[in-house]
Structure 1
């Protein structure tokens, strides 16, 4: 074999060895780069997953707190509504129409006399002026009179305007005191008047007699 041919063969073998080594070196560098890229991607995905979990936890907490705040708000609104209703009911009760008056010890000598009241125990709506009840609002009313007298056949009429409604009659009471009572349920319109008149004369009334009226509906 000539020196020239030997040289060519050596050159070819050297080139083959160099290419093989280069390929192996390039492959190692590529693998390293790929592993680095994979690690970087894995780290990013891990952080993203962690952030997503944290965000989900925050959303859950936010929903729970929002629900709690809504419950508290509903409770506050209910309490406020109940308070307003209580205040309205209380104001309504304070303004309930009705009265109770004690009749003083006195003697009446005229059937046209209107019995004047004495000590007023209650006067809701201020519709009773001490003598006559004047209806402030339409509705069903209940009136009651209880009389103590020693007048023979003594009694008291409940009047509506000029109409006689009911009579509380004590019967034969002389000389001892007897009692009698009567009630009247009547519909009244605004301005209608209720008052008392004696039945027999002279009419002696004891201070334990009472006149009461109240709006029922």
Structure 2
């Protein structure tokens, strides 16, 4: 074989070898590209699956926190309700204490004729007697303070007069005037400071008929 033929044969072999190597290189690159695309594909779905799992975990945690928040809110509501009940209970106790300590009375006066100015006008039906300070005739002060008394007199007596007394002191009077005998209504009030043991009661100025619907009231106002 001539040297020229050897050279040509070498070149042909080299070219064929280069084409094969190039083809192998392209195949490898294509395969590598295909593998990269598949890997990216599977990586994306793997990440999506992971995100979905994380989302489910977050939703589970959120539900637990909502449940805990509802429990805390219900506890707050229960505590508030209990405090309200306690406040109501304290208010009721305070009212009961105030009612127990209230001092005052109202009585209808006895249907009776009194002939002497030294008589003490008597009560008949006692409608209220807070503090039990009124005995049906005389009010005896159980605690110091400002008191208000009021008497309403129904009478047929001419010049009929009724006095509110504190101990031996005259306070105010209800005067029926000199109208001929017929039913007349008069009244009188007195605000007075009383100390423990002071007594308040009613007396006629002279002969007096007291109709049974007359009334006497007293109460501690301060």
Q: 2:72 aligned with 1:67, yes or no?
A: yes
Runs of 4+ in 1 over 6 A off after TM superposition: 43-50
Please give the root-mean-square deviation of Cα atoms over the aligned residues, in Å: 4.4
Superposed CA offset, 1:9-49 (max 9, x none):
xxxxxxxxxxxxxxxxxxxxxxxxxxxxxxxxxx9999788
SS at match of 2:124: coil
Deviation at 1:127, TM superposition (A): 1.4
Q: Supply the distance in 1 between the matched residues of 2:135 and 2:216 (Cα, whole angstroms).
A: 13
SS at match of 1:80: helix
Structure 1 partner of 2:201: 195
Structure 1 partner of 2:219: 214
Q: Supply the distance in 2 between the matched residues of 1:178 and 1:169 (Cα, whole angstroms).
A: 13
Structure 1 partner of 2:142: 136
SS at match of 1:195: strand
SS at match of 1:118: strand
TM-score (norm 2): 0.67
Deviation at 1:84, TM superposition (A): 1.1
Alignment match of 1:104 (pick from 99, 107, 110): 110
Structure 2 unmatched runs, 5+:
1-48
What is the aligned residue count? Answer: 214
Structural mapping, 1:110-189, within 5 Å: 110-174=116-180, 176-179=181-184, 180-189=186-195
Structural mapping, 1:40-55, within 5 Å: none
SS at match of 2:143: coil
CA contact (8 A) 1:154 1:173 kept: no
Superposed CA offset, 1:86-142 (max 9, x none):
423542346532211111122223222211111112212211110111122233221
Q: Supply the distance in 2 between the matched residues of 1:173 and 1:64 (Cα, whole angstroms).
A: 82
Structure 1 unmatched runs, 5+:
1-42
